[in-house]
């Protein structure tokens, strides 16, 4: 039970996480704070003080032209909205959104239409808050005082205040509409581009598609370190907690202490009105929230040294430095040299842009390390997606982080080192080094044979970087070496708390094998016991080779088939598979003609369908029955998993408005103006099989966690626990899978729940109870 002092410290931490940028950016944001602009969570962009003056000047110049009717019809239509926000605020909002989108980890976030809509929406959000200030200033002040700093992010602040304003019958806000937001966003983005020269529109070629995106220019990238140092402060972070999170209950928000008031995080994400779940789901989520963690001091020490010395290892990127390509002396008269230089320069800027994002991730992770380094323990609030999969709410110091981020974690509860634990530590060392496809004995033997290497790395990690950075997961390998050395080799430590990870073998196929009772698929995906781990990706290649052009056969291995096979259960289409195969061949340094890539892809897909008859039959049946359900008039697909989680899938077609806007030349934009009243059948067909699989692998973990009384962490279909507990956890997971598919005919249950018109395809030659004896089901 936390003490009042601990609760107070946690509340203080939550408030700091939300308002951290305010204190650092006080000088630049004073004018915005005077207008309550900082409370709207947009104050962060004022830190770009070198950018704002030129953007403001451009806004003022074009505003005058709009009023004079000199900027065209589309821009004239937004003039009515400009009186609601002064140039300083408009510039700050547009800069903030542009930075957030362009440097987002989401590859599609910088799509032109998304940037335009986001800028317009942010301006409307600010004007809506000012509308409430005008209509009910006293009430708004009280609501801000009581609720504002508990909210996480601009959107949640607005939702909270809007809901409360409606409750008090304050005059409603009149929505601007997507078209006007895009027009406004176009104007503001154009002002940023013209005023700074820091961003530009680029057309990307993706097969037959040529989407427009917004990217930073070389001029901006030259000063990116200074700008990104400010940009990383723009959004408040969700941090780990110093005390156990609040429990989730049917009518009570859990997680952060302030979440009960501000409702910034839902228990089930991406669901408009999530149904009340079974008691087991709340118990499961609350159980994983009670797991305590601490920072691994060994990894933290190594990271601090490498950060100071600017040494990159894997996903740990303190500062990325590379000289731009040299301009050839004969570039004016040598066309080939010119083309080669342009290609090299493009690749350089692509790497510069990509690594700038990754550099921000490292800096923020190190900030979190310094904040929690000496805390006795901390906790992670979790929530679920609409399929039932669990995700930590914080972005850093979680089991679902990068290799570097994962290596920083230890469980706060220790366990005695047993003989069994020693083998699991050996397993972790070898697996993280890259032997994840070897047998258990081979992994154990590899670690025993390399104890001299492990000792050398542990005692001198800085001097042996070249020896451990070559591992598949270098940072987790380093953490494993240190734990193994002190727990086993030297014996100085008689306890262990390092998370050991095991995961499913091609989990999508494993789930479909259980649904269809398909023994051939079960055998290839380690559902059935075997002396060594089965390799479904290699089996597909061997089956496909006779149908692959002879000149390429020696190059086609499991690395070429892996992504294709992994995504088949998730309804991946031929075009996506074609792209995966092409990427794999390029990584091998091969220039394969398009027609041959097509032949190779067809061969691999056909081999996959032949080797996995049960999964293909289930997917085809699901697509047919979803089509039947939608044609009967169903507007959503809903099913309940064996653990009691109710998954709700609702996809409506978007309504689009086609606009012609002027942005560095004419650009035609299709803008989604909202959901229509028509169900998106194709989306349902593509999504139901993947979502069914995800909901069932989540259900497997729900039930396993409730049977396991020790610290545990989750990464989708992977489980992590202490080495002392891993044998027990592996048994629990296998037994739970057996119970799910041996004692229940879930595919028939699913058929009844969605009102299927035909019987589900069940092959029936698999006995799921055999999985109990499968060493490599989770490994």
Q: Is the pLDDT of residue 738 over 70?
A: yes
pLDDT value at residue 710: 94
Instruction: Name which of 6-10, 151-155, 513-517 the model is least confident about.
Output: 151-155
Band of pLDDT at residue 268, cut at 50, 70 and 90: confident
Q: Is 16 left (phi over 0), alpha (psi -120 to 50) or beta?
A: alpha
Supply the angle between the helices 613-631 and 507-516 in degrees, to the nearest 10: 80
The backbone region for 665, taken as left when phi is positive above 0, alpha when psi lies in -120 to 50, beta otherwise, is: left
Give the pLDDT band of residue 561 (cuts 50, 70, 90): confident
Q: How far is residue 590's CA from residue 111's CA, in Å, rounded to a whole number? A: 30
pLDDT level of residue 33 (50, 70, 90 thresholds): very low
Contact between 337 and 328 under an 8 Å Cβ cutoff? The reply is yes
| Collapsed DSSP state (helix, strand, coil) of residue 661 | strand
Q: Please say whether the beta carbons of 296 and 407 come within 8 A.
A: yes
CB 626 within 8 A of CB 684: yes
Three-state SS at 435: coil
Q: What pLDDT does residue 337 have?
A: 80
**CA dist., res. 566 & res. 505, Å (int):** 10
CB neighbour burial string for 281-315, b if at least 16 within 10 angstroms, e if fewer? bbebbbbbbebbbbbbebbbebbeebbeeeebbbb
Q: Is residue 610 scored above 80 in pLDDT?
A: yes
pLDDT tens track for 687-734: 888 888 889 889 989 999 999 999 999 988 788 999 999 999 988 888
Q: What are phi and psi of 390, to 5 degrees?
A: -95, 140
DSSP reduced 3-state for 15 = helix
Q: What is the per-residue pLDDT for 323?
A: 76
Q: What is the pLDDT of residue 74?
A: 54
Task: Among 158-172, 556-570, 757-771, name the one with the lowest average pLDDT.
Answer: 158-172
The pLDDT of residue 467 is 96
The pLDDT value given to residue 41: 29
Higher local confidence (pLDDT), 724 or 30:
724
With residue 261 as reference, give the H or E element that holds it. helix 259-262
pLDDT-based confidence at residue 655 (cuts at 50, 70, 90): low
- At 553, is the secondary structure helix, strand, or coil? helix
Which whole number is the average pLDDT over 326-330?
Answer: 83
Please say if the pLDDT value at position 155 is more than 60.
Answer: no
The size of the chain, in residues, is 779
The pLDDT assigned to 483 comes to 97
* Closest residue by Cα to residue 240 from 408, 3, 478, 4: 408
Strand partners, 498: none
Q: Which pLDDT does position 256 carry in this prediction? A: 85
Among residues 163, 156, 393, the alpha carbon closest in space to that of 267 is found at 393
Residue 552 has pLDDT above 60, yes or no: yes
CA distance 564 to 574: 9
Stretch 423-428: mean pLDDT? 95
Q: Binning pLDDT at 50, 70 and 90, where does residue 559 land?
A: confident
Cβ-Cβ contacts under 8 Å for 293 (sequence gap 6 or more): 240, 377, 378, 379, 380, 397, 409, 410, 411, 412
94 SS3 class: helix
Residue 613 confidence class, pLDDT cut points 50, 70, 90: confident
Q: What is the pLDDT of residues 54-73, one digit of tens each?
A: 888 888 887 776 666 555 55
Of 510 and 395, the structure prediction assigns the larger pLDDT to: 395
Interval 80-93: pLDDT, tens: 666 666 777 778 77
- Average pLDDT, integer, range 625-629: 90
Per the model's pLDDT, the better-predicted residue between 767 and 26 turns out to be 767
Q: Round the average pLDDT of the chain to a whole number and report it.
A: 79
Rounded CA separation 228/100 (Å): 10
DSSP at 316: B
Q: What local confidence, expressed as pLDDT, does residue 286 receive?
A: 95
Listed as own residue / partner, the contacts of 71-80 with beta carbons closer than 8 Å and 24 or more positions apart are 72/662, 74/183, 74/186, 74/659, 74/660, 74/661, 74/662, 75/183, 75/187, 75/662, 77/180, 77/183, 78/180, 78/183, 78/184, 78/187
Percent of the residues in the chain that have a pLDDT greater than 70, as a whole number: 75
Task: Dump pLDDT digits (tens) for 348-380.
Answer: 766 666 666 667 788 889 989 999 999 999 999
Q: How far apart are CA 631 and CA 678, in angstroms?
A: 11
Show the DSSP H helices in 590-664 as ranges: 594-611, 613-631
CA 361 – CA 365 distance, rounded (Å): 6
Evaluate if residue 27 carries a pLDDT over 60: no
Q: Are β-strands 378-379 and 382-384 bridged in parallel, bridged antiparallel, or unpaired? A: unpaired
């Amino acid at each position: 039970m936390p003490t009042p002092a601990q609760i107070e410290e946690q509340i203080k931490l939550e408030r700091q996480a939300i308002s951290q940028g305010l204190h650092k950016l006080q000088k630049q944001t004073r004018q915005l704070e005077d207008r309550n602009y900082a409370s709207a969570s947009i104050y962060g962009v004022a830190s770009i003080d070198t950018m704002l003056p030129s953007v403001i000047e451009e806004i003022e110049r074009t505003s005058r032209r709009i009023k004079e009717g000199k900027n065209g019809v589309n821009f004239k239509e937004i003039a009515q909205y400009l009186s609601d926000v002064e140039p300083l605020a408009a510039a700050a909002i547009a800069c903030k959104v542009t930075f957030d989108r362009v440097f987002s980890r989401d590859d599609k976030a910088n799509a032109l239409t998304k940037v335009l809509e986001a800028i317009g929406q942010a301006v409307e959000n600010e004007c809506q808050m000012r509308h409430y200030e005008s209509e009910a200033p006293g009430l708004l002040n009280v609501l801000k005082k009581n609720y504002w700093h508990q909210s996480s992010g601009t959107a949640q602040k607005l939702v909270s205040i809007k809901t409360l304003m409606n409750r008090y019958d304050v005059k409603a806000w009149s929505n601007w509409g997507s078209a006007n937001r895009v027009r406004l966003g176009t104007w503001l983005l154009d002002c940023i581009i013209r005023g700074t020269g820091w961003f530009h529109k680029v057309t990307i070629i993706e097969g037959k598609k040529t989407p427009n995106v917004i990217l930073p220019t070389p001029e901006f990238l030259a000063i990116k370190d200074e700008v990104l140092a400010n940009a990383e402060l723009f959004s408040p972070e969700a941090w780990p907690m110093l005390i156990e999170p609040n429990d989730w209950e049917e009518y009570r928000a859990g997680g952060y202490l302030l979440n009960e008031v501000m409702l910034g995080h839902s228990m089930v994400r991406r669901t408009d009105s999530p149904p009340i779940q079974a008691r087991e789901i709340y118990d499961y989520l609350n159980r994983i929230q009670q797991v305590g963690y601490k920072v691994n001091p060994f990894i933290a020490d190594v990271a601090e040294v490498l950060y100071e010395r600017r040494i990159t290892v894997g996903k740990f990127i303190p500062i990325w430095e590379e000289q731009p390509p040299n301009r050839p002396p004969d570039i004016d008269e040598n066309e080939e040299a010119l083309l080669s230089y342009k290609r090299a320069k493009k690749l350089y800027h692509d790497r510069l842009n990509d690594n700038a994002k990754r550099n921000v991730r490292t800096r923020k992770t190190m900030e979190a390390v310094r904040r929690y380094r000496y805390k006795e323990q901390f906790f992670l609030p979790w929530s679920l997606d609409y399929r039932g999969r669990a995700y930590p709410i914080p972005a850093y110091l979680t089991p679902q982080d990068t290799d570097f981020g994962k290596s920083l974690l230890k469980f706060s509860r220790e366990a005695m080192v047993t003989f069994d634990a020693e083998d699991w530590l050996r397993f972790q060392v070898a697996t993280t080094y890259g032997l994840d496809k070897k047998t258990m004995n081979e992994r154990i033997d590899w670690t025993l044979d390399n104890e001299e290497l492990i000792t050398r790395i542990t005692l001198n990690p800085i001097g042996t970087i070249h020896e451990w950075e070559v591992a598949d997961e270098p940072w987790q390998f380093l953490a494993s070496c240190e734990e193994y050395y002190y727990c086993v080799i030297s014996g100085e430590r008689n306890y262990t708390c390092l998370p050991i990870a095991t995961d499913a073998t091609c989990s999508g196929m494993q789930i479909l094998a259980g649904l269809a009772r398909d023994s051939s698929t079960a055998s290839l995906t380690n559902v059935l016991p075997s002396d060594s781990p089965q390799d479904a990706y290699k089996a597909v290649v061997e089956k496909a080779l006779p149908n692959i052009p002879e000149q390429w056969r020696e190059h086609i291995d499991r690395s070429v088939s892996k992504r294709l096979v992994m995504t088949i259960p998730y309804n991946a289409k031929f075009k996506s598979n074609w792209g995966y195969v092409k990427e794999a061949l390029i990584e091998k340094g091969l220039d394969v003609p398009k027609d041959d890539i097509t032949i190779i892809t067809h061969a691999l897909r056909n081999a996959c369908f032949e080797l996995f008859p049960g999964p293909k039959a289930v997917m085809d049946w699901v697509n047919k029955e979803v089509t039947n359900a939608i044609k009967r008039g169903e507007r959503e697909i809903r099913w309940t998993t064996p653990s009691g989680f109710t998954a709700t899938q609702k996809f409506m077609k978007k309504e689009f408005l086609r606009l012609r806007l002027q942005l560095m030349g004419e650009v035609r934009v299709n803008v989604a103006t909202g959901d229509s009243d028509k169900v998106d059948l194709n989306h349902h067909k593509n999504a139901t099989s993947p979502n069914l699989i995800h909901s069932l692998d989540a259900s497997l973990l729900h039930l396993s966690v409730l049977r396991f009384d020790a610290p545990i962490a989750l990464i989708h279909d992977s489980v992590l626990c202490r080495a002392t507990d891993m044998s027990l956890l592996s048994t629990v997971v296998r037994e739970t899978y057996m119970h799910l598919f041996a004692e229940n005919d879930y595919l028939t249950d699913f058929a009844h729940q969605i009102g299927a018109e035909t019987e589900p395809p069940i092959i029936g030659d698999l006995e799921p109870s055999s999985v109990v004896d499968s060493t490599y089901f989770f490994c």
